[in-house]
Structure 1
Amino acid sequence: MPAPPTSPPPPPQMQTPVAYPDMGNLGFNMGSIRASNLTLAALAPVPQPRAVPVVQSPYAFQVPRKRINNPSDIEHFQQSEGGKTFLGFVAALSDSVKGKKLSDYCRQSPMVVSIGKILSEMSSWVDQLPPKQQPARYGNPTFREWQTWLEERGPSLIAQILPDSMKLGVMELFPYFADSFGNATRIDYGTGHEANFAAWLTCLARLGLVNEDDYQALVTHVFVQYLDLMRKLQTTYWLEPAGSHGVWGLDDYHFLPFIFGSAQLVDHRYMKPKSIHNPDILENFSHEFMYLGCVEFVKRVKKGALAEHSPMLDDISAVPSWSKVNSGMLKMYKAEVLEKVPIMQHFLFGSLIKW
């Protein structure tokens, strides 16, 4: 059987992106992307950083479960303390890396270091489970073996980072963690899984295991390592994109690195949004700024001009400032991820992120 190709095909071209909100109202002056109807979410204020309230002992850990099934559930989530805390946590992470390169020094607490070791171990599993030879382009079944290892070994990994008083928390924390790396049945991954990883970090913050002093390291070390692992999984086992907008999305799999990456570049003296079209800048700075790294990765795995396979990224490059890009990304994350039933129906709720 032939080996899988070295890069996935470009996504199918969509003729009429009628379901997408008017990006001009998200802070982006889009030329080629227009929708037939505006959404109230697009006109909402920019999400702001919000402190995560720490849960006090005695804890009431529970197995988290799905709650979102329809638009009214989405509205309930948006108005709840859990929903506001989660979005505020994402905004706070973004705020923590404004003007910061990935290589800039930041404090790494023992918890941050421990999480990094867990992600490194999981990355080594990929090396031990090479993909099977198959004619299909996407969905290598060896990914299910990797997921089996996660289910078997993951709970003990989570238990290792919890103090004795919180050991029962594995029942609540592990389901978030397990759902952060894609779906074994569908062999896919998308922004819903990415959201569960951010929810897992939120749970750690709720327990006081990480705090605002850790936020920069959570982005520049933990999330970057998570992103590297996910790209390794995506390109080794060719995971199907879950919930992708195709050609009208930022990326087939991710959203958060565009938020964090645009924050890194706020007020940069030389690089502007249009700098993504400069090959030298991408080559020399993609390892320092997540946004540039995302663009470089997209251009590497998709063939053709950026304007053809990723018109949204191309249009965003015309925005005059990274500050405007970052605020638009936060608005768009709320509108296009957190307010979409097909994505959020997999989100979990327990005692730490309450329904």
Structure 2
Amino acid sequence: MNAERVIGDGAQRNAGPVPVTLPLNHRFVQPEKAVKSITDMAIWEKSEAYMEYTGFIATLNEAIKGKPLSVDCNVSENVVKIMNMLEKIYKLIDEFPPIEQPQRFGNTAFRDWLAEVKNNSTLILQETLDPKLHLAIPEVKVYLEESFGNATRIDYGTGHEISFVMFLCCLYKIGALQSEDNVATVFMIFNKYINIARKLQKTYTMEPAGSHGVWSLDDYQFIPFIWGSSQLVDQPKIYPPVKFLEDEIIDKYANEYIFLSCIKYIKEVKTGPFAEHSNQLWSISAVGSWLKINQGLIKMYKKEVLNKFPVIQHVLFGSLLPIRRFPITH
């Protein structure tokens, strides 16, 4: 690996990427769980991983502000390769159709699908990443494998979503993605991931992880609402924000704005009054500006997801996203 490769480091107090260099002799490791008790949460909140992760979300949040999905953005060769990889994973779902079983939720065919993804993760990442980066595969592949749900419980939640965003963060840290890929990372790669997650949820009737969506805005996701609300800042077509509840607006703009595609998905999979089945989102609709909604969702995400032991106990830490304390510079 080129010792002079400069990569994005989202750690600096959420201020966005600062140049760091991955040393030539960098040792990649198998990521492991490190938050094993409530008292470990304090270590997590002061860790490099936490600063990197929250900084990464903030950086991409800024990159897509006010932009529809159809915006003309830089699409690098590596973005195309990652999209091809995710398309293979998406199509693989069709090869493992749900089986007939007595229980309604948690179709066990999901286990076979996920086993196939894990069996092939090294190979598909070798096809996707530059050979210079193959030493990183044993570390980054674990984040990808953990992005789609739990095979034992056949459930999916914000912890799995965290794993995929950490996977993306690692791709930046090894130099597979660069700052000019920021918009495409959200609008193409992350959007494709959300489509995979939705297809898995529907195909295998996956349970929401945790207490039925207690850690998320809908039953499964949170980050699409953060990045999706950033897209809607200064967009007069969906203003005031309460308009996101209107069916006509949803149908017209779901393909342009991630937030509206989330609302459309909720309305497809849930019945009854929106105010009852999605009370938090209903409350958000009363906020007067998308910027305030976006800022509020970031705070809420830190408090309701990143600050919750039942979620963070499953997070994995390695050399790229370490649990060690973030160095404070004066």
What TM-score comes out, normalization by structure 2 length?
0.90
Match of 1:111 in 2: 78
8 Å contact kept, 2:78–2:129:
no
| Residue 348 (structure 1) aligned with residue 322 (structure 2) | no
1:135-146 → structure 2 map (5 Å cutoff)? 135-146=102-113
Identity value in percent: 42
Task: Show the counterpart of 2:283.
Answer: 315
Matches of 2:77 and 2:248, distance apart in 1 = 37
1:123 is matched with which residue? 90
| Distance verdict in 2 for CA 1:108–1:60, change over 3 Å | same
Instruction: Give the SS at the match of 1:270.
Output: helix
- 1 CA distance for matches of 2:126 and 2:21? 19
Distance 2:141 2:292 in 1: 36
Shift of 1:106: 0.5
Change (3 A) 1:201 1:248: closer
Contact 1:96 1:215 survives alignment (8 Å): yes
Whole-Å Cα distance in 2 between the matches of residues 104 and 231 of structure 1?
24
Distance between the aligned counterparts of 1:235 and 1:340, measured in 2?
Answer: 27
Q: Which moved more, 1:82-91 or 1:155-164?
A: 155-164
Residue aligning to 1:328: 296
Unaligned stretches of 5+ residues in structure 1: 1-46
Alignment gaps of 5+ in structure 2: 1-12, 324-330
Matches within 5 A, 1:121-200: 121-200=88-167
Q: In the aligned structure 1, how far is the partner of 2:23 from the partner of 2:301?
A: 30
Residue 70 of structure 1 is aligned with which of 37, 40, 45? Answer: 37
2:174 to 207, 215, 218: 207
1:122-160 Cα distance to aligned partner (Å, 9 max, x none)? 111111111111232210000001011111111111122
CA distance in 1, matches of 2:138, 2:245: 46
Alignment check: 8 A CA contact 1:249 1:312 kept: no
Asked whether the 8 Å contact 1:54–1:207 carries over to 2, the reply is: no
Contact 1:55–1:208 (8 Å) recurs in 2: no
Which residue of structure 1 aligns with residue 58 of structure 2?
91
Report deviation, 1:200.
0.6
Amino acid of the structure 2 residue aligned with 1:50: G
**Whole-Å separation in 2 of the counterparts to 1:82 and 1:139:** 32
Instruction: Report if the CA contact (8 A) 1:49-1:89 is conserved.
Output: no
Q: Secondary structure of 1:105's match?
A: coil
2:6 alignment counterpart: none
Give yes or no for contact 2:254–2:261 (8 Å, CA) kept in 1: yes
The alignment yields a C-alpha RMSD, in angstroms, of 1.5
Q: Per-residue deviation at 1:247? A: 7.3
Q: Which amino acid aligns with 2:260?
A: L
Distance 2:163 2:310 in 1: 14
Contact kept, 8 Å, 1:248 with 1:310, in 2: the verdict is: no
Pick from 196, 209, 226 the counterpart of residue 259 of structure 1.
226
- Report Cα offsets for 1:35-86 as digits up to 9, x if no partner: xxxxxxxxxxxx8442164423222011110001223322212112221111
- Residue 50 of structure 1 aligns with which residue? 16
Deviation at 1:163, TM superposition (A): 2.6
State whether residues 69 and 256 of structure 2, in contact with CA within 8 Å, keep that contact through their aligned partners in structure 1: yes
Deviation at 1:277, TM superposition (A): 2.0
Letter in 1 for 2:232: L
Amino acid at match of 1:322: W
Residues 225, 246 of structure 1: alpha-carbon distance in 2 compared, 3 angstrom cutoff? closer
The residue type paired with residue 267 of structure 2 is: K
Query: In 2, are the aligned partners of 1:191 and 1:243 still within 8 Å (CA)?
Result: no
Using structure 1 for the length normalisation, give the TM-score. Answer: 0.84
Alignment CA distance shift 1:54-1:242 (3 Å) = farther
* SS in structure 1 at match of 2:238: coil
Higher relative contact order (CA 8 A, sep 6+): 1
Alpha carbons of structure 1 residues 288 and 100: separation in structure 2 relative to 1, 3 Å: same
> Equivalents in 2 of 1:319, 1:211: separation in Å?
34
The question of whether the paired residues in 1 share the 8 Å contact of 2:213 and 2:220 is answered with no
Alignment of 1:281 onto 2:249? yes
- Partner Cα distance (2:23, 2:226) in 1: 31
- Secondary structure of the structure 1 residue equivalent to 2:156: strand
